[in-house]
Chains A and B, each alone.
Chain A
Amino acid sequence: ETGVTQTPRHLVMGMTNKKSLKCEQHLGHNAMYWYKQSAKKPLELMFVYNFKEQTENNSVPSRFSPECPNSSHLFLHLHTLQPEDSALYLCASSPGGGKNYGYTFGSGTRLTVV
């Protein structure tokens, strides 16, 4: 247990479904992140939130919609996904404030789009 909890651990969804991934941290961190990890590709940064405000959207398709209601929770809403969106989605948090002193990662959600 790292202090960052992701649910669910595994998700299978059809291309017409709507689902959400949840990330929760109680480390007192102010920055939260979504990463996508596909086979044989580097980890791709998707979204960055600092103090609940989105500060980075790395050209992510609109079928991925993040939400950060408070500094402890981060969601990734999914709709009309494609099979190529199947991947491990990792959430991370850090102290934030313009300096990175190390991210803490969750265990990830393994997403399969069928």
Chain B
Amino acid sequence: SQELEQSPQSLIVQEGKNLTINCTSSKTLYGLYWYKQKYGEGLIFLMMLQKGGEEKSHEKITAKLDEKKQQSSLHITASQPSHAGIYLCGADGNTDKLIFGTGTRLQVFP
């Protein structure tokens, strides 16, 4: 079965700094999804990547999928306190099932 490994597990950065979160899959990814979760709440969809080498941006967040489609990165530029939360990558393996990585907890301090 497919497994997703995220790194780092937690991240504490100062406001204004850039940061990167990585997601590595044990199998080729058909669809890679990034979600953000505020503590104790539901997941908010950020971006979906499907093609090798694809890159998408929304505001200050950029997600990339590598050419081999086994690794994705999420990059936040000039982080703000509003970026704090848990970031989760998910993969669907070309099925209806979405499995998730272990998550990266991000804290941004002023």
The 10 closest A-B pairs by CB, nearest first: A105-B42, A43-B100, A100-B92, A105-B43, A107-B42, A42-B102, A42-B100, A106-B42, A108-B42, A107-B41
Q: Known: A42-B101, A43-B88. Is A98-B96 also a contact (CB below 8 A)?
A: yes
A112 in the interface (beta carbon within 8 A): no
Residues of B within 8 A of A88 (CB): 40
In angstroms, Cα B4 to Cα A99, docked, is 19
Q: How far is the CA of A108 from the CA of B44 in the complex (A)?
A: 12
Nearest B-chain residue to A40, judged by Cβ: B102
The distance from the CB of A37 to the nearest CB of chain B, in whole angstroms, is 9
Interface residues on A, range: 20 to 34
- Is B98 in the interface zone, CB < 8 Å from A? yes
Q: Are the C-beta atoms of B40 and A48 separated by less than 8 Å?
A: no
Q: Complex: how many Å from CA A72 to CA B33? A: 24
CA A108 – CA B39 in complex, angstroms? Answer: 11
Q: Are B96 and A31 in contact, CB atoms less than 8 angstroms apart? A: yes
> Which chain B residue shows the least CB distance to A91?
B42
Once the chains are docked, how many angstroms separate the CA of A2 from the CA of B88?
17
Bound-complex Cα distance A42 to B43 (A): 13
Return the chain A residue nearest B88 by Cβ. A43
Residues of A61-114 whose CB lies within 8 A of B? 88, 90, 92, 94, 96, 98-108, 110
CB proximity to B under 8 Å, residues A26-73: 31, 33, 41-43, 45, 48, 50, 55-56
CB distance from A42 to the nearest CB of B (A): 5
Q: Is the CB of B96 within 8 A of A102?
A: no
Q: Chain B's nearest CB lies how many Å from the CB of A13?
A: 18
Candidates A6, A42, A45, A102; contact of B97 at CB < 8 Å: A45
Asked whether, in the complex, the Cβ of A56 is within 8 Å of the Cβ of B33, the reply is: no
Which B residues touch A33, using CB under 8 A?
A: 98
Most chain A CB within a 10 A radius of its CB, from B35, B42, B97: B42
Instruction: Say whether B97 contacts A90, CB under 8 Å.
Output: no
Min CB distance A108 to B, Å, is 5
* Alpha-carbon distance A104/B48, docked complex (angstroms): 13
